[in-house]
A and B are shown apart, each in its own frame.
Chain A
Amino acid sequence: MNLARVGAVITKETRELLRDPITVWLCFLMPLVMLFLFGYAVTLDVENIRLGVLDQDRTPASRALAMRFTASHYFERVRDFPQAHAITESLQRGELTLVLVIPHGTQRRLARGETAPVQLLVDGSYAATSLLAAGYAEAIVRGFASAPAAAVEPAVRIWYNPSLRSVNYIVPGLFGVILMAFPPMLTALAIVREKESGTIQQIYASPLTPREFMLGKLLPYAGVAFGEMLMVVGLGYAWFRVPFAGNPVELFAVAGLYVLITVGIGLLVSALAKTQVAAMLIALTIALMPSFLFSGFLFPVFSMPLMMQMYARAFPTSYFIDFARGVVLKGVGVEVLWFNVVWLAAYTAAVFLLAAWLLKKRVA
């Protein structure tokens, strides 16, 4: 390993990178776009559920029940129905997510201590939202019914994300996804570009060893990846007010390991692909897609079917996301999540051994 030669590759690669506005844009603006998209738009919280009310009782009790819905910030009362027949059409058009029907005689029944049936019509097209909406609504109705009695008062304390904000859960997951989305592609493109343009021939016919070339190519992109990580963590903390309960040093140390995996995957892709288009597609399929869908970033791994869980656990992202959430939300570290760290380390070793085996300094 000759450090002067590695240095020459690093210098060249950095200059090329800095003079390519599109790549720089891809490096830093795309993660930013993702952060803000996921931070704002894709919250899994259900707020302002559009509610319609058909109050056939028209009594103080029925009005009080309807008030309970609007008092919670989950529901927004957008429509009152004078008659039942308009409800179906309204749900069909997707105007409303939930309709509360309070039949005649509800107050009377309540006063008599009878069961008072109240109807909740839920648009189930968006299963996740509907489920949450139905759950909230049921809780409100139940609370209303049992309010006078107040026999058992459950004291619920939610730990680690007390306000139950999705953004607190999304942003630490995004660390893992962003690092899997861009560094593998950038690294793969950087190497395959040289294959495509023919400049790699000059590299072949030089004293550079495959390992020196690999290292010189990887370090600038690992640097970029680390910069992306710092940016996302910083903005998550400063802009989205995501609490940072644990030790940042531990997070960044493990992130370093994870970054090595991501650029290593890029290296593997470059060994397989001959053209930039192929490299991009392979990187999308083996890095980006599983990191979105099977990492626990949006959908928890433990709620998947067993086969899918095994598949998801074959990718490194879920281990890093679990670790990141542990550090950021729970304030724990390696002492608790050592298994994830060991897994990531094993993964790093495997990726690089495979890459070293595949990367030969040869034309054919």
Chain B
Amino acid sequence: MDSSGMDGRWADGPLVELREIGRRHGERAVLGGVSLTLAPGRILAVVGPDGAGKTTLMQILAGILPPSEGEGRVLGRDLRREPEAVAARVGYMSQGFTLYDRLSVAENLEFAAGIRNVPAALREARARRLLAMAGLEHVTGRRAGALSGGMRKKLSLIGNLIHEPPLLLLDEPGLGVDPLSRRELWRMLAEFRARDTAIIVATSYMDEAERADAVLLLHEGQPVALDSPAALAASCAGRVYEWPTAAGTAASEPLPLRSRKQLADRVRAVLPEGGHAALPAGAVAVAPDLEDVFVDRTPPLPAPAAPWPAAAAAHPGGEAIVVSELSLRFGEFVAVDRASLRIAAGEVVAFLGPNGAGKTTLIRSLCGLHKPSAGTAVVAGADVAAGRRRVQGRIGYMSQHFSLYPDLTAGENLTFFASAFGLDRAAARAAIAWACAVTGLEPDGQWVRSLSGATRQRLALACSLLHRPEVLFLDEPTSGVDPASRYRFWTVIRQLAAAGMAIVVTTHYLAEAEFCHRICLMHNGRLFAQGALAELRARYGLAPDASVEDVFIAGIAREDSAAAAGEAAA
């Protein structure tokens, strides 16, 4: 068979060569004008929000979706004439999980090898090496369905590496995977790059892309930029500034900015080229990152919503959430272990932790959905155990993925949620007008399923605000949304907080925590650290510019070693 990748047909040229590749879906251009080349041993990151055309490009590269425009060769084979030959040679890991849950780790790997003609003689040695690399050698007999998200992702990855493809295509490998596992995944990719495998990674995490050799920025199906991360950053050099929030927010409003990012303690802005208007006092130039580049190269959004009447149910300065020694047990399993926490009205707090840390369980109990096994929690002035109904009337909950009805229009969704909260017709109309004004939403006749991720996000937020909650819970609110829309979203959140709403956020997207006043770190059911980002950096002895991810990983490592020491002592 022709499984050996060493027939030299592409040894001289690039592994990937695309010229003006595009794909139409009916009338709509999903992707257009993509040209790129890739040499062995290089990593290309394809970056863009949901709906930017990343998956379409990856499927075209894998030879499983014919391009409707342009020419391309992958591994020396033409994408139009020999797509099967391309599909047979590349390693392609699609979005989501591509495992058979009922098969064991070893059996999944065996199947992956079997359909890819890996000779039996090589199979075992390779499988052993890959399993060791992924840290899965001790769980080969376990069912894939019983693995954690990170382990499943690693198993999918090595399944696509078993035939040692010269080109590896990964579609959103970090999606739904906690930061620790994501770091592992990248360590594996680095090893393969060192052995001359070319890798293309599609991602909506801009920070991931910084590790690539080249970055292709996609926006609404169009390439925005293609260069090395350093060159891209250089294009914005000297135009990115930060200044403390206190330093005259009002003065900054008329500035002609490309983007304005309202973080917890400071503002980060990208100036237009040549524009050096009067910056607020305390503004310092900072090194641009890819997100800055992305917003610089995409059309600006209309400014965030104008001022609006303050949220009704607000009493600033009060305590919105008081949790003391709260535990949740399911049988033997302790999901949340004696958590204590106070959140004031007007505060924005992030819950961070790996999968299974207990974030969701804790939030659900604060919403009155789980009865605490021990301890108490008072949310918006009502005890969650005794006054469940009262709590639920005073909180809002937004989960991007599940809370909207895709076959209804934005207006119908709003009307439905208004009636679900028991608002009468007049109150509902007023509440909808208010929520739309707050979120900058203009409901039209489109079905929700055809709206962009960013619009859906604003609609979900509007729906959760209709009854003017005192406390708002946001569950992964911004995954897959483009940076500019995300900044606007957070500006709205900050304005809501300023009006007295307490806001709790869970997210895998660690950079998001920079928008929050305070961070709570969770691991194995324990809420083991809380404080502002600067405080946590100091606590773990990190540099003042250390990222949230560094803090997170340092915190988890400290907690793990403490737990190990505790066990040893016991």
| A→B interface (CB under 8 Å) | 2, 4-5, 7-9, 11-12, 15-16, 19-20, 197-199, 201-209, 361-364
Contacts and interface: CB of A to CB of B under 8 A. Distances in A.
A211 to B, nearest CB: 12
Contacts of A16: 100, 102-103
A208 B113 CA distance: 11
B103 A205 contact: no
Interface string B79-102: 000001001111111111111101
Contacts of B113: 8
Interface string B230-262: 000000000000000000000000000000000
Contact of B115 (A9, A201, A363): A9
A4 B100 CA distance: 19
Nearest to A8: B114
B541 to A, nearest CB: 43
B59 interface: yes
Contacts of B103: 12, 15-16, 19
A204 B89 CA distance: 12
B59 A206 contact: no
Contacts of A208: 115
A201 B94 CA distance: 6
Contacts of A15: 102-103, 107
A259 B97 CA distance: 33
Contacts of B116: 206-207
Contact of A5 (B59, B98, B99, B114): B114
B115 A5 contact: yes
B115 A207 contact: yes
Contacts of A362: 64-66
A205 B62 contact: yes
A198 B100 contact: no
B125 interface: no
Contact of B64 (A2, A9, A201): A201
A12 B111 contact: yes
Nearest to A20: B102
A10 to B, nearest CB: 10
B420 interface: no
Nearest to B91: A205
B1 A202 contact: no
A257 B102 CA distance: 31
B522 interface: no
B64 A205 contact: yes
Q: Name, among B110, B111, B160, the residue most crowded by chain A CB atoms within 10 Å (CB to CB).
A: B111
Contact of A12 (B84, B95, B107, B169): B107
Contacts of B87: 204-207, 361
Nearest to B87: A205
Contact of B114 (A7, A197, A202, A361): A7
Contacts of B3: 207
Given A8-B111, A202-B159, 5 more contacts: A8-B114, A15-B103, A19-B103, A207-B88, A361-B64
B90 A11 contact: no
A168 B272 CA distance: 88
Contact of B88 (A4, A198, A206): A206
12 contacts: A4-B117, A8-B114, A9-B115, A15-B103, A198-B94, A199-B98, A199-B100, A202-B112, A204-B64, A205-B62, A205-B92, A208-B115
B477 interface: no
A198 B100 CA distance: 10
Contact of B63 (A5, A8, A11, A205): A205
Contact of B97 (A5, A7, A198): A198
A16 B104 CA distance: 10
Interface residues of B, number: 38
Nearest to A204: B64
B166 to A, nearest CB: 14
Contacts of A4: 114, 117
Contacts of A364: 25, 65
B115 A205 contact: no
Nearest to A193: B100
Contacts of A197: 96-97
Contacts of A5: 114-115, 117
A95 B557 CA distance: 80
Nearest to B102: A19
B84 A361 contact: yes
A363 B67 CA distance: 12
Contacts of B159: 202
Contacts of A361: 64, 84, 87
B398 to A, nearest CB: 26
Nearest to B83: A362
A205 B88 CA distance: 6
A204 B60 CA distance: 12
Nearest to B143: A19
Contacts of B1: 2
Contacts of A205: 62-64, 87, 90-92, 94, 169
B95 A198 contact: yes
Contacts of B91: 205
Nearest to B120: A4
Given A205-B87, A207-B117, A12 B100 contact: yes
B5 to A, nearest CB: 12
Leading 8 A-B pairs by shortest Cβ distance = A8-B114, A207-B88, A205-B92, A201-B94, A19-B102, A204-B64, A12-B111, A202-B98
Nearest to B89: A207
Contacts of B59: 363
A203 B115 contact: yes
A29 to B, nearest CB: 19
Contacts of B93: 202
A2 B119 CA distance: 13
Interface in B1-33: 1, 3, 25
B50 to A, nearest CB: 16
B102 A11 contact: no
A206 B111 CA distance: 11
A2 B84 CA distance: 15
A39 to B, nearest CB: 34
A20 B101 CA distance: 11
Contacts of B92: 201-202, 205
A4 B59 CA distance: 26
Contacts of B97: 197-198
A208 B96 CA distance: 21
B500 to A, nearest CB: 44
Nearest to B107: A15
Interface string B492-513: 0000000000000000000000
B184 to A, nearest CB: 21
A198 B101 CA distance: 12
B261 to A, nearest CB: 34
A206 B89 CA distance: 7
Contacts of A209: 84
B145 to A, nearest CB: 10
Interface string B44-79: 000000000000000100111110000000000000
Nearest to A364: B65
A197 B145 CA distance: 12
A195 B488 CA distance: 36
Contacts of B100: 12, 16, 199
A205 B156 CA distance: 13
B117 A2 contact: yes
B98 A198 contact: yes
B64 to A, nearest CB: 4
Contacts of B169: 205
A203 B25 CA distance: 23
Contacts of B90: 205
A88 B409 CA distance: 61
A20 B91 CA distance: 29
A22 B269 CA distance: 57
A332 to B, nearest CB: 45
B149 to A, nearest CB: 15
Contact of A199 (B84, B89, B99): B99
Given A20-B102, A206-B87, A207-B3, A11 B65 contact: no
A116 B95 CA distance: 86
